[in-house]
Amino acid sequence: MFTGIIEALGEVVALEPRNGDLRLRVRTGSLDLADVQLGDSIATNGVCLTAVELPGDGFWADVSRETLDNTTLTGWAVGQPVNLEKALTPQTRLGGHIVSGHVDGIGEVVGRHRDARSERFRLRAPAELARYIAHKGSITVDGTSLTVNKVEGAEFELNIVPHTLQWTIMESYRPGTRVNLEVDLIARYLERLLLGDKAADPDAGGITLEFLTQHGYNRA
């Protein structure tokens, strides 16, 4: 588990195809690896990766087909910067929100403009994730815990302060940039709980207005 508070910027230094999947090497820059052991998790642009080698200045990780199919990792290149965060401990301050490092889908930056000293970003999420994105709710973008400032359909806006621009990869975002999205974990579990026994039915689908009305949640 993670908090979504980025600890350092790293750099992709190797991408090695391995029998249909990939082995990745990341140089971790200022990230303190003194307490990192083999098998520990490091969130890399929001993707929870397991350290399988620790050469001293970073780590190697194996990347499965599942991860390649559901994240931006297939488009990564040697030399590109990445957001890094070590897994939280019981002593970690939860400054962001609870982040699993399991990417839900790929979003796209569709707009950016200055707002005083901040930058406003507009992103488009996959349609199936839109129901989990709420005004003033939390969302993880490339591993960064952020607050949603506005929602319109599958698009949402973020207000990014100068500190976040400086210490994450968001300064490089432009319209067309693809990003890893992880929606609020609580929203996902709440949906399953509301489905009750129907959660075991593969044809049940998700929560709809009709479902809420039938079960007494909508009295309009």
Residue 162: band (very low, low, confident or very high) from pLDDT cuts 50, 70, 90? very high
Tell me if 86 sits within 8 A of 31, measured CB to CB. Answer: yes
Measured in degrees and rounded to the nearest 5, phi and psi for residue 186 equal: -65, -40
Task: Please count the other Cβ atoms lying within 10 Å of the Cβ belonging to residue 68.
Answer: 14
Tens digits of per-residue pLDDT, 68-102? Answer: 999 999 999 999 999 999 999 887 887 888 899 99
Percent of the chain whose predicted confidence (pLDDT) is above 90: 78
Q: Where are the beta strands (DSSP E) in the chain?
A: 8-18, 21-27, 41-44, 47-50, 58-63, 81-86, 105-115, 118-124, 138-141, 144-152, 155-160, 178-183
Return the domain boundaries, the chain. 8-86, 105-186, 190-220
Please name the residue ranges forming H helices in the chain: 65-70, 162-167, 185-195, 209-214
**Tokens linked to 152:** 């319109």
Is the pLDDT score of 218 beyond 70? no
pLDDT in tens, 99-136: 999 999 999 999 999 999 999 999 999 999 999 999 99
CATH fold of 105-186 reads Elongation Factor Tu (Ef-tu); domain 3 (2.40.30)
Two domains, one topology: 8-86 and 105-186: yes
Query: Which token pair is 28?
Result: 């971790």
For residue 3, pLDDT beyond 80: yes
CATH of the structural domain 8-86, one choice from 3.30.360.10, 2.40.30.20, 3.10.129.10, 3.40.50.1970: 2.40.30.20
User: Per-residue pLDDT tens for 15-66?
Assistant: 999 999 999 999 999 999 999 999 999 999 999 999 999 999 999 999 999 9
- b vs e for 134-161, b when ≥16 Cβ sit within 10 Å of the residue's Cβ? eeebbbbbbbbbbebbebeebbbbbbbe
145, 159, 160, 161 from 117: Cα distances, Å: 20, 10, 9, 7
Which residue in this structure is represented by tokens 């970690």?
A: 92
Give the closest residue to 83 by CA, choosing from 20, 8, 191, 185: 8
Q: Which residues of 103-126 are buried (b: 16+ CB within 10 A; e: fewer)?
A: bbbbbbbeebeeeeeebbbbbbbe
* pLDDT bucket at 187, cuts 50 / 70 / 90: confident
- Is the whole-model pTM more than 0.95? no
Question: Angle at the Cα of 88 (from 86 to 93), degrees rounded to 5?
Answer: 115
